[in-house]
Protein backbone atom coordinates (compact mmCIF):
# COMPACT_ATOMS: atom_id res chain seq x y z
CA UNK A 1 0.00 0.00 0.00
CA UNK A 2 0.92 3.64 -0.21
CA UNK A 3 0.82 5.88 2.82
CA UNK A 4 0.39 9.62 3.41
CA UNK A 5 2.95 11.15 5.76
CA UNK A 6 3.88 14.33 7.62
CA UNK A 7 4.18 16.74 4.68
CA UNK A 8 0.44 16.40 4.06
CA UNK A 9 -0.47 18.04 7.37
CA UNK A 10 -2.48 21.18 6.63
CA UNK A 11 -1.74 20.79 2.91
CA UNK A 12 -4.60 22.19 0.87
CA UNK A 13 -3.88 20.41 -2.39
CA UNK A 14 -6.07 17.52 -3.46
CA UNK A 15 -4.30 16.57 -6.68
CA UNK A 16 -3.78 13.04 -5.34
CA UNK A 17 -7.51 12.53 -4.74
CA UNK A 18 -8.31 13.51 -8.30
CA UNK A 19 -5.97 10.98 -9.90
CA UNK A 20 -6.57 7.94 -7.66
CA UNK A 21 -8.38 5.33 -9.79
CA UNK A 22 -10.03 3.65 -6.80
CA UNK A 23 -10.91 6.73 -4.68
CA UNK A 24 -9.11 5.44 -1.61
CA UNK A 25 -8.14 8.82 -0.14
CA UNK A 26 -10.05 9.88 2.98
CA UNK A 27 -10.04 12.90 5.27
CA UNK A 28 -8.01 12.53 8.44
CA UNK A 29 -7.92 15.09 11.25
CA UNK A 30 -5.66 17.58 9.51
CA UNK A 31 -4.45 15.66 6.48
CA UNK A 32 -5.53 13.09 3.93
CA UNK A 33 -4.98 9.36 4.43
CA UNK A 34 -4.99 6.31 2.15
CA UNK A 35 -7.06 3.24 3.01
CA UNK A 36 -4.49 0.42 2.98
CA UNK A 37 -7.02 -2.25 1.98
CA UNK A 38 -8.32 -0.24 -0.96
CA UNK A 39 -5.05 1.08 -2.43
CA UNK A 40 -4.05 -0.96 -5.49
CA UNK A 41 -0.40 0.15 -5.39
CA UNK A 42 -0.53 1.90 -8.74
CA UNK A 43 1.74 4.75 -7.63
CA UNK A 44 -0.11 7.34 -9.74
CA UNK A 45 -0.63 9.69 -6.78
CA UNK A 46 3.05 9.98 -5.85
CA UNK A 47 4.22 12.42 -8.57
CA UNK A 48 0.94 14.37 -8.27
CA UNK A 49 1.51 15.26 -4.61
CA UNK A 50 2.99 18.81 -4.49
CA UNK A 51 4.09 18.22 -0.89
CA UNK A 52 5.89 14.93 -1.60
CA UNK A 53 3.98 13.35 1.26
CA UNK A 54 3.11 9.95 -0.24
CA UNK A 55 5.37 6.91 0.02
CA UNK A 56 5.20 3.18 -0.64
CA UNK A 57 5.17 1.01 2.46
CA UNK A 58 8.45 -0.41 1.16
CA UNK A 59 10.13 2.95 1.72
CA UNK A 60 11.65 4.04 5.05
CA UNK A 61 9.44 7.14 5.24
CA UNK A 62 6.41 4.86 5.66
CA UNK A 63 6.95 4.26 9.35
CA UNK A 64 4.65 2.24 11.60
CA UNK A 65 3.30 5.52 12.97
CA UNK A 66 2.07 6.68 9.56
CA UNK A 67 0.82 3.25 8.53
CA UNK A 68 -1.25 3.04 11.73
CA UNK A 69 -2.55 6.59 11.34
CA UNK A 70 -3.61 6.05 7.71
CA UNK A 71 -5.51 2.89 8.61
CA UNK A 72 -7.08 4.37 11.71
CA UNK A 73 -8.50 7.45 9.98
CA UNK A 74 -9.45 5.67 6.74
CA UNK A 75 -11.38 3.06 8.73
CA UNK A 76 -13.62 5.76 10.22
CA UNK A 77 -15.41 6.18 6.88
FE1 LIG B 1 -4.73 5.52 -5.15
FE2 LIG B 1 -2.81 4.38 -6.65
FE3 LIG B 1 -2.15 6.25 -4.84
FE4 LIG B 1 -2.99 3.81 -4.02
S5 LIG B 1 -1.09 4.29 -5.16
S6 LIG B 1 -3.63 5.81 -3.19
S7 LIG B 1 -4.51 3.34 -5.62
S8 LIG B 1 -3.41 6.57 -6.69
Measured from the CB, is residue 44 less than 6 Å from ligand 1?
yes
1 Cα nearest atom in ligand 1: 4
Longest dimension (CA), the chain: 27
Q: Please give the Cα distance from 44 to 48 (Å, whole number).
A: 7
Nearest CA owner, ligand 1 atom 3:
45
Nearest one of 15, 9, 12, 22 to 48, comparing CA atoms: 15
Other CB atoms within a 10 A radius of the CB of residue 45 amount to: 23
- Tens place of pLDDT for every residue, the chain, 77 residues? 999 999 999 999 999 999 999 999 999 999 999 999 999 999 999 999 999 999 999 999 999 999 999 999 999 87
Nearest CA owner, ligand 1 atom 5:
43
Q: Please give the Cα distance from 13 to 64 (Å, whole number).
A: 24
Q: Is the ipTM of this complex over 0.90?
A: yes
Measured from the CB, is residue 34 less than 6 Å from ligand 1?
yes
Show the domains of the chain with their CATH numbers.
2-74 (3.30.70.20)
Amino acid sequence: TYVVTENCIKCKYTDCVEVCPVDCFYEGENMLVIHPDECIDCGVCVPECPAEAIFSDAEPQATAHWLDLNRKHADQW
